[in-house]
Structure 1
């Protein structure tokens, strides 16, 4: 069952990427360029007109730069800012360009706001599927075209994690060593300084590079990581503004070098960012702080800001367009009508149009006409090329889908109709009806985008039905398995003799579905989607007699039906908690009165109610609370005080000097961890970096603390205290605010939970040690509730940006995304580990078969997962899309983690 569950959830977790987020890549379509269009339509530029194309493009990306931090006028500065009071802008050079010739606005990214997918969007013009962010930065999981591919030469300089994404024989790449990417180093500008110095050295001394740059249709790509590292280390404080200012000076330096080297005014400049940065110094999710990036462009082929129609793309950051226009006017001090927003994928099309190179084959961006210079005919032709390239993708997808669909193919729009629309546009351009042509082009482009989305969702109904049946089948499979193996009835009722008939039906169904999938050339893993529901329902049908006997003898539709309804309601309420953390606070208050039902004495009722009220406060606190080392110190003291109080009120039955020494030794280790945490934070705040002794102490104390619980006795109270203390040490070292206080609350809740479970078992007439009873469902629900509170008690895991990245700096400072992610995941897992350990101890003490209890938890949890599956969204704001993905991933990952945590808990709990 465990193996089946792990494989099932791993396979079905990826289903949303087959349904909602399939790769947009298609191959085999025609590619269009300005020269090809002009030759085919006998359309030429006006005689005597100079070439509207730039000879080269300088593409500069300030990694991690928020739009507001570049554009806003800084009026009053706190003492922490390095900017002088007489400076009103963070980037004077870029501001001067905005006020003279540059067009500017916001480039809206989409999730995940990470370097790889955002650079793919900017340079290739399409949004890589979300799962690609986990495939590694330097390896391309799929073949794709890009603006870089169509140039004669590309010079790339920057971070090794980014500049190696785009390779080719005509691309020269230079990067600094990965070891330089140290987040707590004193000088964050050293990375950008290396890039600027390297560029100057190449353009002045390297004859090979100089000769290549003299070609037309070249791109110089400078990737600047300094702002991103400053954001992670210092958030929106002094270091972040320092890095923006240094980048601005560097851009001015590059601008001067380029003009001196070429001296022909044939250069276009684009300055932007791949993603923003949250106020907590993180990125990855759909928070507007991460999705709103600046775009400033000027030079040959670029319209100045006062030409063309501005447009503001609303992303939900402001309550209305009027409010956003007011913000632009007051905070940016520019006329809102000059702001020209684009979507990030539009940038690739702009690059291609400015240089006159073929558009990337898989681009889905729309040419931002407000940025493109040239007469109406020139801009209309380029816009038409943009639309034709998108329609070519639609026709290719349509042909491929028609070829593989066996039955009832539903065509979006025929090739003949699309060709007729395109030919009509060409005629209007030839007749100089540019206004009419522009309207028709926009319509054709919209048809292309909608058609691509149509075929992206073409297989949704059948896939979603199979996935839903898989989850439902899994839940009933677990229930029947528990009924068969962990109840007296299961051992009394003999199995059905329908195995041959059921097997024949299952195999026939499987062969039919597999043949259908094979003939349609669907991905091979689609077979796995169909195998699971067939297997689950075959098992259920083979135990029909047992299910019938259970409902006849033990199930009361009035009493048990009401309990089942309440369980479903509770789970649905917890689903709502993923949208609003406040829901868990309300649940805690309701749980506070539960001991009254169990007729506990006043002291326990009062203590439990007080504990629930305190625990309810944590989910009312903001998820982005920020750094507060004083709360870490208070939390450490509170945890140690709770441990000592518990030891005094309920001393172990068997006195042992060794166990007392171990108990106080663990508390000493926790105190030392707190001291190391404070010392490290002070050092980083003083820009002295992570001291090596502190780093060694952090790793050493954590390892020792995690091993000490194995030395404790098997008395459940002693072992529980030792386990909680063992995981407290790494939590203290990873905490930035009230995490340890929350952990102390879990410790207190355990005491009351244990007493309630013992009391409940005594009242349950159906309870027999070693067998399942109806009480296990309420215990499972309470565990699921605490498990979810473990997720949301100290943050909001629905957004990646809620993670406080600075907490890992006590263990590691050099940039290593997967190592840092592993440390963060461990921090987030500590409350979950503690709750699981407590649950296993309760099961052992009460004599409940813990494996059966686990299966019940898994079955009930999947009710939430089904909700999240249907709530996944690929439309709306990027924040909504990102959160919907996170919820489904959490729902699935929680179940898989439970399987691992229970096994892990068996090792720690031992023979309690």
Structure 2
């Protein structure tokens, strides 16, 4: 036991260190501080600026005309055609609210170190347009506004937010969020008329008014962008903007010193998600007008845009000025004469400015100096932490490479004053290689025994593992490779000769593999809900449970002492769980779906049932017998019940199919051991998870154990990629959690989705726990093989980690490395959970006679 715990702790420590290393290597913030703010020395054209961000608004949704030739946003359309400049703001991925607003207001693209900081925390302090203003007043979502107020120097950024509970995907119409903003702004200007101090602040220069409108985004998530709720919300925003402009102009006496910018942080896919790089997500509208902004410019030639939208928009007669999203920050700064945000990488779009050439030249020069300041600070920091004789400009660094290579690693780290983690990375291999050399005797024995092994079998396993590992690596990029792997696995009983000894189980294995092979071919995002498939999954669960019961009854009848245990447990627990699963599948998700479609909200009864099922899912198995069939059935039913509540379509069929294949795997491994004449083989009917393992019967590793370990790794990866990937987590459908809650809460929703991801893992782990007990194999030996397989895969992914692109690209590259590096850690921790889940038992009352 002490040796096993030492093995677990050492393995945990090593993999945690290498997992954390990627954050030092790839995800250190590139932002620098200490730059001098740069402002254009000439008088600005505007005294104040109104920024309106319609969250989740697609460019085509705003610009495309209705079938009758009218616009759903007539006011903004008139601005485009008469008195403003328009274009498309090209967002960068990730197309999410936080990075979109950071790009708009701070002028740089979201730092990758924000991945580990959540939605509302600033990973590093950064400058913004709001921070450089005299005063900024903001109205809108509590998820966006506080992050700009937190980083501002002084107390000049004032935020007005509604409660987070208002962001309810199940509401009849989320446009009320935008109505709230417009109403608050109207009340604000009304009160300023009688408040002399507030009025004096408003009349000063360098002020910004920011309206964050979340209604369109929320309606898009709840009803999809083609819905009437989404499209009508655009009309509401257009009317609100028209009233806002009239009110602002009246308050300031039509002095012609107000500039207006209307845009969006990101778009949205047809299925109501965002985060990736589809044009529907990255093309957002930009309309600017007012003081200092160019008037509409008519053109006679067709503009050279290749996005295919201009013809549908009927705006080809007006000059379209596209920008990168970060370019909007320097535009706003230039219009009101404040310093450019010091971290901005945006380029001032001169075609939006209506001013003298002198002003434009000064502004673009200031913009260039501001970007150059960042380069100077970065170079200064690098020079301070590098030896003077080694620091040279980039194009001369290759004359110096040989010198760097000759420096001793440890001495180099000392002189460089490198972080402590660098010493860990460089010196950690020393004790690891020491551990390898200490086992040289075992390695020698293995080499000596190699000639006695069947050559064809050794070569076959070498090919299997090599091909299998590469197949798993490719499956991280192309889920369909798992289908190929499952098809290959389906013929294993026929190639190994097991078909002649166990025809029914071999055919069941083949059918199970082929059924499971269908799931990686299904889409992971953009799936429409299909509650009928959830109901079918409930029926399939009932069928699988019946097969479990039939098989277990057939075997336990040979052991009369277990009859009483069987009937009490099966009658009182297993059958009740079967009924519970069927009721949950047929009633709760379908009723919830129907209620939300009718805009009646989430029924309280459904919510209570859902949370109760979730809370009891890990408790119910502990109340059943620790006999193999009884306990596995109880685990399967309790986990599947929760999974069905979190399903909206075809993925609901995954746990029943996976569980059936795992059940067949347990049985067919028994036949494989019988064919090999393994003395440690146990009858499944006699296996009790709570029984103490006789260590004298634990056998040595055999070649077939490599296959078992590989099957285990393959099924673990299939458990994750079978119904999803990083894209499905990044753009998950909120409908998946509607049985539990409909009010937006990223942490609870994320926790529920993570539990949904973990459930198939537990099913596979419980299966492997059963195989380990049945084959009398040391878990330490198995984890050593799994460790080798996962670390070989990790070598591929370490060099594929990237720190650029969308959160989808970045997150995918990280997740690939994290999954394989943390596989052993995760499986070790999960093995503890599954060991408790399979071997421990709770008694609501103590019987006079104990039946195991």
TM-score by length of 1: 0.80
Q: Distance in 2 between matches of 1:184 and 1:255?
A: 32
In structure 2, relative to structure 1, the CA distance for the partners of 1:9 and 1:127 (3 Å cut) is farther
2:765–2:830 contact (8 Å) kept in structure 1: yes
> Are 1:333 and 2:314 an aligned pair?
yes
What is the aligned partner in structure 1 of residue 145 from structure 2?
163
In structure 2, relative to structure 1, the CA distance for the partners of 1:530 and 1:818 (3 Å cut) is farther
Q: Distance in 2 between matches of 1:898 and 1:371?
A: 56
Q: Note the C-alpha offset of 1:737.
A: 0.2
What is the aligned partner in structure 1 of residue 545 from structure 2?
643
What is the aligned partner in structure 2 of residue 729 from structure 1?
641
What is the aligned partner in structure 2 of residue 548 from structure 1?
444
Alignment of structure 1 residues 361-376 onto 2, 5 Å:
361-376=342-357
What is the aligned partner in structure 2 of residue 477 from structure 1?
none
In structure 2, relative to structure 1, the CA distance for the partners of 1:411 and 1:831 (3 Å cut) is same
> Are 1:668 and 2:649 an aligned pair?
no
Q: Distance in 2 between matches of 1:25 and 1:552?
A: 57
Q: Which moved more, 1:517-526 or 1:598-607?
A: 517-526
Render the CA deviation track for 1:97-125: whole Å, top value 9, x for unaligned. Answer: 22333333332333443333332222112
Find the partner of 2:360 among 379, 396, 404. 379
Q: Distance in 2 between matches of 1:623 and 1:887?
A: 17
Q: Note the C-alpha offset of 1:332.
A: 2.4
What is the aligned partner in structure 1 of residue 58 from structure 2?
66
What is the aligned partner in structure 1 of residue 426 from structure 2?
530
Q: Which moved more, 1:614-623 or 1:630-639?
A: 614-623
In structure 2, relative to structure 1, the CA distance for the partners of 1:587 and 1:143 (3 Å cut) is same
1:328–1:336 contact (8 Å) kept in structure 2: no
Q: Distance in 1 between matches of 2:129 and 2:302?
A: 25
Q: Distance in 2 between matches of 1:585 and 1:684?
A: 35
2:783–2:824 contact (8 Å) kept in structure 1: no
What is the aligned partner in structure 2 of residue 844 from structure 1?
773
What is the aligned partner in structure 2 of residue 53 from structure 1?
45
Partner of 2:49: helix, strand, or coil? strand
Q: Distance in 1 between matches of 2:472 and 2:512?
A: 20
Alignment of structure 1 residues 88-237 onto 2, 5 Å:
88-167=70-149, 168-206=154-192, 207=195, 208-236=197-225, 237=227
What is the aligned partner in structure 2 of residue 860 from structure 1?
789
Find the partner of 1:20 among 11, 23, 26. 26
Q: Distance in 2 between matches of 1:804 and 1:639?
A: 24
Q: Distance in 1 between matches of 2:662 and 2:302?
A: 56
Partner of 1:354: helix, strand, or coil? helix
What is the aligned partner in structure 1 of residue 685 from structure 2?
none
2:548–2:629 contact (8 Å) kept in structure 1: no
2:727–2:808 contact (8 Å) kept in structure 1: no
In structure 2, relative to structure 1, the CA distance for the partners of 1:524 and 1:298 (3 Å cut) is farther
> Are 1:898 and 2:800 an aligned pair?
no
In structure 2, relative to structure 1, the CA distance for the partners of 1:713 and 1:87 (3 Å cut) is farther
Q: Distance in 2 between matches of 1:308 and 1:403?
A: 53
2:45–2:336 contact (8 Å) kept in structure 1: yes
In structure 2, relative to structure 1, the CA distance for the partners of 1:310 and 1:587 (3 Å cut) is farther
What is the aligned partner in structure 1 of residue 461 from structure 2?
563
Q: Note the C-alpha offset of 1:594.
A: 0.9
In structure 2, relative to structure 1, the CA distance for the partners of 1:210 and 1:575 (3 Å cut) is farther
What is the aligned partner in structure 2 of residue 302 from structure 1?
293
Partner of 2:312: helix, strand, or coil? helix
In structure 2, relative to structure 1, the CA distance for the partners of 1:878 and 1:795 (3 Å cut) is closer
Find the partner of 1:682 among 594, 599, 606. 594
Unmatched 5+ residue regions in structure 2? Answer: 1-6, 557-561, 681-696, 841-851
Q: Note the C-alpha offset of 1:589.
A: 1.4
Q: Note the C-alpha offset of 1:413.
A: 6.4
Q: Note the C-alpha offset of 1:907.
A: 0.9
In structure 2, relative to structure 1, the CA distance for the partners of 1:604 and 1:363 (3 Å cut) is same
Find the partner of 1:245 among 231, 235, 238. 235
1:124–1:360 contact (8 Å) kept in structure 2: yes
Unmatched 5+ residue regions in structure 1? Answer: 39-50, 76-85, 313-320, 415-450, 466-508
Partner of 1:648: helix, strand, or coil? helix
Q: Note the C-alpha offset of 1:700.
A: 1.1
Find the partner of 1:355 among 336, 339, 354. 336
Q: Note the C-alpha offset of 1:58.
A: 0.8
Render the CA deviation track for 1:40-73: whole Å, top value 9, x for unaligned. Answer: xxxxxxxxxxx55221111111222233333333
What is the aligned partner in structure 2 of residue 48 from structure 1?
none
Partner of 2:138: helix, strand, or coil? strand
Partner of 1:173: helix, strand, or coil? strand
2:62–2:234 contact (8 Å) kept in structure 1: yes
1:189–1:243 contact (8 Å) kept in structure 2: yes
Partner of 2:24: helix, strand, or coil? helix
> Are 1:284 and 2:271 an aligned pair?
no
Q: Note the C-alpha offset of 1:899.
A: 2.6
Q: Distance in 2 between matches of 1:336 and 1:572?
A: 54
In structure 2, relative to structure 1, the CA distance for the partners of 1:59 and 1:885 (3 Å cut) is farther
In structure 2, relative to structure 1, the CA distance for the partners of 1:8 and 1:249 (3 Å cut) is farther
RMSD across aligned positions (CA): 3.2
> Are 1:603 and 2:501 an aligned pair?
no
> Are 1:824 and 2:753 an aligned pair?
yes
In structure 2, relative to structure 1, the CA distance for the partners of 1:690 and 1:25 (3 Å cut) is same
